[in-house]
Structure 1
Amino acid sequence: MTLLLMAAGSGSRYGKLKQFDDLGPKGEFLMEFAMYDAIKNGFGHIVVITKKENVDFLREHLEARLPKTVKLDVLSQEISDLPDGMEFSGERLKPWGTAHAVWTARDVIKDPFCVINADDFYGQSAYENAAKFIREHPQEDHYALVGYILKDTLSEHGSVSRGVCMTSGDDLVSVDERLKLEQKGDKVVDADSGLEYTGNELASMNFWICRPSIFGVIETEFREFLQDDQLVKTGELYIPKTVQKMLKDGLAKVKVVPAQDQWFGVTYASDRETAVASLKQKTAEGQYITPLWSM
């Protein structure tokens, strides 16, 4: 099993590269706790997608810490990485999106894998439940989303973007992307659309359980994307949309796996204090050793 971490963001709202902020008790990055939890649950391959200028630094940092039995790949997400025969000669500041970040790993991932954000803390049970799902569902078309309770994924310091899930039992029906969600009294309100939620809905935090079959689907979408001049200027390819297309086309069966743990993230600089305190508490409670890689 492989854990793929997306760490190519710019941290515009955080004020710096939050993926490399020393939030742990001994200066560990938040993503290191994800790796620790995954390895503890049988993941033997770590893949990190980052910016080109961060590849060498991150590889050296992780090689010095991860167990030698764990395979490590650190790859750069680049705008020039296109399907064979496709060209792009324009200018673009942002990468092609999260689905393209996943596609970046197409040549190194050959087995079931989980996709997460490097700047989110998902909790130990998320990796335990994901590993269990992979073991119990070996079929190539069996995918899953690790779901969280919407009201538990908000920030006290500003609006957040979340994928609000529609489900039927434990089957995923759709993921509705909302970009400006905030707690307003006893409701969660999306400032863009005015839609209100109870807060008890399931939310996607981009923790996906995937199979290598997704790479071909992303490439097909990417080829179509590159032929649309407007999308090429400002659009992005998103994992939820790719998975939903696979669901609609009958290429995947997608379950929702409950996280059964508390999520937290560092969207804003003011989220940092909460993250540091939470990691310190979890370490004090014995969930993590310190230093993290002294095992």
Structure 2
Amino acid sequence: MKTTLLIMAAGIGSRFGTGIKQLEPVDDTDHIIMDYSIHDAIEAGFNHVVFIIRKDIEEEFKDVIGDRIASVCSAHDVTVDYVFQDINDIPGTLPEGRTKPWGTGQAVLAAKKVIKTPFIVINADDYYGREGFQAIHEYLMNGGKSCMAGFVLSNTLSDNGGVTRGICKMDENGNLTEIVETKNIVKTADGAEADGVTVDVNSLVSMNMWGLTPGFLDVLEKGFKEFFDKEVPSNPLKAEYLIPVFIGELLEQGKMSVKVLKTNDTWYGMTYHEDVASVKDSFRKMQENGVYKADLFSDL
């Protein structure tokens, strides 16, 4: 069965080069975080890769990332597609003065025409580890409809400042009941806190790693039309259609069930410039410990 890796990369800057965090090499062979995600997804069994980008970065994206990945995918019988997130691709009229993108919900909708299989959706600039890809692929292959990787909060914190995390609430069967967006979570000597309130570091959090089916895209599209009717008029320049928020609404209405699949892997991202050195050090250690080969894709 085909399964798809959907990578949200439309947020990459319009000019490649220094300062674009998604393109910061994280090892000595100039691999970026996206390379590792693609490696882990192919290893888990995903055999279709879809990049969501903007049209204005297509040529540069292919030069820096896409052409190299295309040859890797071709060697492993993995197909590749590109789709484009466009601020004008909306069920209405673009508000005057609007320049802000419409968010992750609209980004995923951009891929509706090319996704015919169960799929996993991830951020381009987050490292998720192997376990989440494997768990979600297995869940989807066994007929599961909707799931998410639940990361242990302590494995997602930064040493360099506060972070925002969606803390998951679940029922006794491990089904998601609510995502509580919690801002400014910082490490402390004995755990973590947010604005002075202790936070359980063993909580599971959402890092925007979802397993979904093509049927969800129909629901997402209908929701986008409702968002445009209800949310955009009151906040035309900044309203965003976000996957976690939309799924939270469906959960609240009893219209969706999402299984939380715990992963013990450490999440890495470059929230702060100071994170770059520690992230690179982490990838160096993973290579030294044999988690990955220096020739990254050679073990597939």
- Equivalent in the alignment of 2:105: 99
For 1:232 and 1:10, how far apart are their aligned partners in 2? 23
Please report the RMSD computed on the Cα atoms of aligned residues, expressed in angstroms. 2.0
- Correspondence 1:130-209 to 2 at 5 A: 130-136=136-142, 138-139=143-144, 142-169=145-172, 170-191=174-195, 195-209=197-211
- Contact kept in structure 1, 2:164 and 2:181, CA below 8 Å: yes
Matched residues, number: 285
* Alpha carbons 2:153, 2:203 under 8 Å: kept: yes
Pairs within 5 Å for 1:73-88: 73-83=81-91, 86-88=92-94
The unaligned stretches of length 5 or more in structure 1 are: none
Is 1:245 the counterpart of 2:249 in the alignment?
yes
Q: Which amino acid in 1 is paired with 2:222?
A: T
Other-structure match for 1:284: 288
- 2:19 pairs with one of 3, 16, 20: 16
> Conserved in 2, the CA contact under 8 Å of 1:55 and 1:75?
no
**Superposition TM-score, scaled by structure 1 size:** 0.89
In the TM superposition, what is the alpha-carbon distance from 1:78 to its structure 2 partner?
1.5
**1:224 and 2:226 matched:** yes
Report the more deviating stretch, 213-222 or 56-65.
56-65
Q: Which amino acid aligns with 1:33?
A: Y
Deviation for aligned residue 1:254: 0.7
| Deviation for aligned residue 1:284 | 2.2
SS at match of 2:236: helix
- Please tell me whether the aligned partners of residues 5 and 49 of structure 2 are also in contact (alpha carbons under 8 angstroms): yes
How far is the alpha carbon of 1:75 from its aligned partner? 2.5
Alignment of 1:116 with 2:122, yes or no, is yes
Q: CA deviation at 1:185?
A: 4.1
Aligned-pair identity in percent equals 33
User: How many Å separate the matches in 1 of 2:80 and 2:60?
Assistant: 14
SS of equivalent residue, structure 1 residue 232:
coil
On the 8 A contact 1:226/1:232 being kept in 2, the answer is no
Counterpart-to-counterpart distance in 1, 2:23 and 2:278 = 17
Equivalent position SS for 1:216: helix
Q: Distance in 1 between matches of 2:177 and 2:197?
A: 19
Tell me the distance in 2 between the aligned counterparts of 1:109 and 1:164: 29
Gaps of 5+ in 2: none
Amino acid at match of 1:73: D
Matched with 2:54 is 51
| Structure 2 Cα separation of the partners of residues 71 and 240 of structure 1 | 28
CA distance, structure 2, for counterparts of residue 185 and residue 237 of structure 1: 37
TM-score normalised according to structure 2 size = 0.88
Judge conservation of contact 1:92–1:233 (CA < 8 Å) in 2: yes
Task: Show CA shifts across 1:243-266 (max 9, x none).
Answer: 223333443221100112121111
Query: What is the 5 A alignment of 1:259-278?
Result: 259-278=263-282
For residues 229 and 190 of structure 1, what CA distance do their matches in structure 2 show?
33
CA contact (8 A) 2:100 2:237 kept: no
- Give the aligned residue type for 1:110: K
